Amino acid sequence: EAGVTQFPSHSVIEKGQTVTLRCDPISGHDNLYWYRRVMGKEIKFLLHFVKESKQDESGMPNNRFLAERTGGTYSTLKVQPAELEDSGVYFCASSQASWGYGYTFGSGTRLTVV
Amino acid sequence: AQSVTQPDIHITVSEGASLELRCNYSYGATPYLFWYVQSPGQGLQLLLKYFSGDTLVQGIKGFEAEFKRSQSSFNLRKPSVHWSDAAEYFCAVGAGYSTLTFGKGTMLLVSP
């Protein structure tokens, strides 16, 4: 079974530009999560999709971040315009059940805003 | 609000020596507790989890953790560390519907 795939693995962009991160969950997993780790800090929850619907987006930092999951398959996380403080590693995870924290994490996208 | 504290940012252990990584949590209800490991270039991998029952939990790769309610702790242990265990380790508490609150992580270095 293929795991959770994220790309790109690394992205370096200038402040003010737009970046789109993509996550392909494990096939059949209705639940998809985004987390972020800013350097030196904790990994923090951003949002949770159930199929194509946003179940919980309480962790989204501001309206420069837009997450979508069209058709309930892959998800994108767009940052527009990017700021320096957006630098970090963005993790995606998926699970079959909505309860029980049975996540499988991807290897993350390292975003650097310069 | 829930929180997780991993007091050690870095730990260096000799290969073959025992390991204990500390984790303290703050959570108002019965916690769901987890340890994850991230090796370079890899995703977060679940080592073990505690939901209820026996407070000593066995995980993969020879790791175990003990839940101590009185100390609000969930320390990770391994009797003999291998060089391949060098990685970053994260303690987490399950909160709300299905989201996790993580600690800052502990980087484990293994010396020959």
Q: How confident is the model at residue B19 (pLDDT cuts 50, 70, 90)?
A: very high
> Do residues B56 and B62 make contact, with C-beta atoms less than 8 angstroms apart?
no
pLDDT at B71: 94
Write the DSSP assignment of B64-89 as a string of letters: EEEEEGGGTEEEEEESS--GGG-EEE
Query: Is there a contact between A100 and B98 if contact means CB atoms under 8 Å apart?
Result: yes
Q: Residue B41 has what pLDDT?
A: 81
Q: Could you identify the residue written with the tokens 């030196």?
A: A40
CB of B107 within 8 A of CB of B39? no
What residue ranges of chain A have pLDDT lower than 50?
none
Is the CB of residue A30 less than 8 Å from the CB of residue A52? no
- pLDDT in the model for residue B45: 92
Radius of gyration of chain B, Cα coordinates, nearest whole angstrom? 13
- Taking the C-alpha atoms of residue A60 and residue A81, their distance in angstroms, rounded to an integer, is 15
Nearest to A103, CA basis, from A42, A41, A45? A45
- Residue-level pLDDT at A100: 66
| Cα–Cα dist A108/A93, whole Å | 9
A-chain residues near B97 (CB < 8 A): 48, 55-56, 98-99
CA-nearest of A35, A53, A50 to A95 is A50
Interval B45-102: pLDDT, tens: 999 999 888 899 999 999 999 999 999 999 999 999 999 999 999 999 987 667 899 9
* Partner residue facing A42 (CB), from B44, B46, B103: B103
pLDDT the model gives residue A94:
93
Contacts of A9 (CB under 8 A, 6+ apart): A107, A108, A109, A110
From the list B57, B95, B84, the residue with the least C-alpha distance to B73 is B57
Q: Return the half-sphere exposure (C-beta side, CA atoms, 13 A cut-off) of residue A57.
A: 15
Closest residue, chain B, to A34 (C-alpha): B99
Q: How many CA atoms lie within 13 A of A25 on its CB side?
A: 28
pLDDT at B31: 86
Q: Which residues of B touch A (CB under 8 A)?
A: 4, 32, 34, 36, 41-46, 49, 90, 92, 94, 96-105
pLDDT of residue A40: 82
With 0-12 / 13-18 / 19 or more C-beta atoms within 10 angstroms meaning exposed / middle / buried, residue A105 is buried
Using CA atoms in the order A21, A80, A10, A44, what is the torsion angle rounded to 10 degrees? -70
Whether the per-residue pLDDT at B22 is higher than 70: the answer is: yes
**B32, B93 contact by CB (below 8 A):** yes
Question: What integer pLDDT is reported at residue A2 of this predicted model?
Answer: 76
Is B43 within 8 Å of A100 when comparing Cβ atoms?
A: no
Instruction: State the DSSP code for B111.
Output: E
